[in-house]
Amino acid sequence: MSDDELIKMASNKDQTFSPLWSGAWEGGKYKSQSEADMALCGKIAWWANADYTQTDRLFRQSGLMREKWTGDYAAETVRIACDNITEGFTRVNKNSAPRQKKEVTIFEEGGCYYLQRGDNVKQLTTYYIMPIGIIVTDEETLYTCDFVTPKKTYRLTLLAEDFSELKRFRRATTRKTLALGFLGTGGDLEIFKTFVEELEWKEKLGVKTLWIYNHNDELVFVTTSKAVKARNISVDTIIQLEKHTQL
């Protein structure tokens, strides 16, 4: 279809298309504009039969277009959207084989992570991650883990938001050392974020104040050093946040 024809068809057939096309993403189900970018790209790519050029060209005409839509961010968003299309809209060749989705996996080898997309493999990091625990609070989620390099291990605590943008992630992981290198693109980080989330984490509830809490249907008293329930039995699934302990 032509660009105009595609926009008209998508707007008529998909009621969620027009708001995104106009740039109205806030207040909806999207946590960030980057998520909205990916959603709109996915919709355009479906109607465009995973045509990279048309998908990028049409996105640039949408209300979501902004300065960030350059370089790796634009290319990776379009590529991921198009690669996720297994069978898009078509008026002809309906009996042709559907587009095959390239399998994407992350694996560890030699103390580094690698990303494999189809037959292509590239190094993603200069380290591997040993998960320690997740602390969930009313305001944020913190991930504490060891970043293991061939020479040294670095323990870091990252916010969930640190995984939202490539520059922010690199900044968060290089606070203590330059040895922690992430070699992928912004699109690769989105895949890596899912991989990290699926590691085996021990989850704890983080609280601000010393108090008695109803935690997992039991009364638990949280102190600066530990948490205890009746008969002085320790509980390791609730903790006072370190910054509030210091205060």
Q: What is the pLDDT of residues 89-140, one digit of tens each?
A: 665 444 445 555 567 889 999 999 999 987 789 999 999 999 999 998 888 8
Is there a single domain that holds both residue 27 and residue 76? yes
Same domain, 195 and 110: yes
191 within some domain = yes
Total domains, the chain: 3
* Helix/strand/coil for 217: coil
Q: What is the pLDDT of residue 86?
A: 67
| Closest CA relative to residue 195, chosen from 143, 119, 118, 137 | 143
Same domain, residue pair 113 and 184: yes
Residue 89 in domain: no
Single pTM value for the model: 0.55
Kindly report, residue by residue over 169-227, the tens digit of the pLDDT: 999 999 888 899 999 888 888 889 889 988 988 888 989 889 999 998 999 999 888 99
Range of the domain at 122: 104-201
Write the CB contacts of 147 (distance below 8 Å, at least 6 apart in sequence): 127, 128, 129, 153, 154, 155, 156, 173, 180
- Strands 203-207 and 128-136, by their bridges, are parallel
Across the beta sheet with 153-159, the strand order is 153-159, 141-148, 128-136, 203-207, 238-240
- Both 8 and 19 in one domain: the answer is yes
Looking at residue 182, the DSSP 8-state letter turns out to be B
Tell me whether residue 10 is in a domain.
yes
pLDDT for the residue 92: 45
Cβ neighbour number for residue 175 with a 10 Å cutoff: 10
